[in-house]
Structure formats: structure tokens, C-alpha cells
Amino acid sequence: MRMGLREVVPEVRAVLFDTDGVLLDSAVLHAAAWKRAFDACLTAGAFGTGQPAFDETDEYTALVDGKSRFDGARDFLRARGVALPAGTPDDPPGCATVWAVAAAKERAMAATLRDTAVRVYSDVAPALRALRDASLPLAAVSASRHARPLLAAAGLDLLLDTVLDGTDAARLGLPGKPDPALFLAAAHRLGTPPDRAAVVEDALAGVQAGRRGGFALVVGVDRRAAPGTADALRRHGAGLVVPDLTALAARLGGGAA
């Protein structure tokens, strides 16, 4: 008889999901928006000469994925040895400050979403229903300000007990991942202490946040199954790695139809 996750980790009483790359196939759109923003500055020589184009696979995964816009821009620039003033959140899109680069990414993402429908992974709705049938409260968490309307457009908000996104983070003054503040706030909304909740993430910064927050279980979702991705998720804090949410729902004992 297969052992369910609740038998392995009986303290899990709620599940907190990252949004981009876990519930919605939107991580690729964020990566493309970052590339447009970074490459515009790189091509113009704003970050110095001899800088290669932004790598929307490796650099996105290692430096940007799962983080707030400001933190993602800052960490990429630091990795490239580029020192820019922070600026202010009101800076217009450009290359002169970290906030300006972040604003350029936001402009690129907004333009993409006007023309592109975001796909929901086929396993998501059945898995969420199975987890709800198992009486587990569910939350979606994202550093993106676009998460809430995208989840609502897909009808996934009806399967979730709460959503906490980038707009909430800004209003509440919560730092982004790998700080666990977003996940801790979502767990609080569900009325579940972190040591009774599971975090489900595809981003390295996200699994780090789950581990730092003292959550009962951190689950890495390895949808790409590229060489080394599962190992990287484990190294950064995932205690369990699954290929999709069907596998997670089955491990929880509910089974996804």
C-alpha cells in the first residue's frame, strides 16, 4: 500500500502554492518580459560594454524567478557587476536605476498579457479539487501583481481559500522571496501555523523561503525535468520533489482525477 504524505508528515493541514510555474504556465512570460527589459539596456550599453544578452533560462532561474521585480532586477545587476542607484518606485521605465529597470519589466509584462492568454496547467484544477476534498485549506502566493486577476480569469480563485500577491505585499510592506514573509502571511490568513503547512514551489527562491519560514514541508515542482533541476530544488530546501500537482495530490492521499 502506497504511503500518503499525511502519513509521512502528519502535521500538514494546509497547502500554500506559488502561482507562476506551479498553477499557471506564466513563468515563461515573466522570463521573456525580463529579457526585453534587460536586453534593451544591455544593447544600449547602459550597463557597460561587452555584456552578453540575458539568459532567460539559466539567469532567470538562478537570479530572478520567484522574486519581486525590484529584487530580481537588483540581483541580476549585482551578478553582472553593475552598480545602479536604487531609485524610487515612481521611476519611469528605463536603465538609470534599479526601480527603472523593474518598471521596464512591468511594462513589458503588461504588454505581453494584453496579447497573450495565460495557460493553466491541466493538472491544476483536478489536483486542487482533490486537496479540497481532503479538507485542506489552500492558498496561492505570488510576488507578481498580476497573479490575482490571472487566477480569477482562469477560475482558480474559486478553488482557493485565499490569494496573496504582489499588490498585497506592497500594501503590507512584505519583503519578497527568499524571505518567507509572503508565505507566512498566507498561512496566517488560513489560520494555520507554518509547522502545520506545506509550501509548493518551482522557484529556487521560493523553496528557500519555505525552508526559512519553518514550514512542515517544502515541495519542489519540477515541471521542466531538465538536467539538474530536481537536485537544485532539493539543495535550496525542497524536502519533496514532484513532477506535477497530480503527484502531489496523490501523495496527500486525495488522488487527482
For residue 72, the model assigns a pLDDT of 96
Confidence of residue 243 (pLDDT cuts 50, 70, 90): very high
pLDDT at 116: 86
Active site residue 18: yes
18, 71, 91, 222: the active-site residue: 18
Q: Which pTM was predicted?
A: 0.86
Average pLDDT for 92-120: 95
Q: List, in order of start, the domains of the chain with CATH numbers.
A: 5-26+118-251 (3.40.50.1000), 28-115 (no CATH)
- pLDDT tens digits for range 8-62: 444 689 999 999 999 999 989 999 999 999 999 999 999 999 999 999 999 999 9
pLDDT of residue 3: 40
Q: Which runs of E-coded beta strand occur in the chain?
A: 14-18, 138-141, 162-164, 197-201, 217-221, 240-242
Contact by Cβ (8 Å): 64, 51: no
- For residues 132-143, give the mean pLDDT: 95
